[in-house]
Amino acid sequence: MIKFHLKCDQDHHFESWFQSGDAYDKLVATKMVTCEQCGSSTISKSIMAPAVSTSKAITAPKATEAALTALREKIEANSEYVGSTFAKEARDIHDGIKPDRPIYGEANLTEAKKLVDDGIPVVPLPFVPRKKTN
């Protein structure tokens, strides 16, 4: 089965399914295909882009998932999870109250905006941190 985008001599556009390209040609030649809007049997195929599935399109989500997993593992291995105290810890590090170290955790939008407004560099993570439990 194949779907064609069609148009009639009155410039009405519609779609229809056919058994094959040859079946379409035969049906149009015998005036068996008509416009849904005006009934004209002078029909032609309009320009269409075929729907093609590629292995790239299929593997892209898997590659993205793998990249996010690798990022999560790198952050968790090289940073300290500070949980909901992230905004306070980031501010204390920035102000020199606490030692400089990589941290990650959670902050609400208001807290994150305040950090950015105060010149404290923060970046949202593209994943939800795993909660540390005892």
10 Å CB burial of residue 120 (0-12, 13-18, 19+) is middle
Whether residue 126 is contained in a domain is answered as no
Is position 134 within any domain? no
Residues 11 and 59 in one domain: no
30 and 73 share a domain? no
Query: Is the domain of 72 the same as that of 108?
Result: yes
What is the pLDDT tens value at each position of the chain, 134 positions in all? 788 899 999 999 988 888 888 888 999 999 999 988 999 999 998 766 666 666 666 677 888 888 888 999 999 999 999 999 999 999 999 999 999 999 999 999 999 999 999 999 999 988 887 765 44
Residues 32 and 79 in one domain: no
pLDDT at 99: 96
What pLDDT is stored for residue 134 in this prediction? Answer: 44
- Domain interval for residue 95: 55-117
Domain membership flag for residue 22 = yes
- The answer to whether 132 touches 86, Cβ cutoff 8 Å, is no
Q: Residue 74 domain-assigned?
A: yes
pLDDT at 133: 46
Residues 36 and 59 in one domain: no
In a domain, 124, yes or no: no
C-alpha 23: how far from chain center:
37
Is 19 within a domain? Answer: yes
Q: Residue 126 carries which DSSP code? A: S
Are 66 and 91 in a shared domain? yes
Give me the number of domains the chain comprises: 2
Measured distance CA(43)–CA(40) in Å, rounded: 7
Strand 103-105 and strand 13-18: the pairing is: unpaired
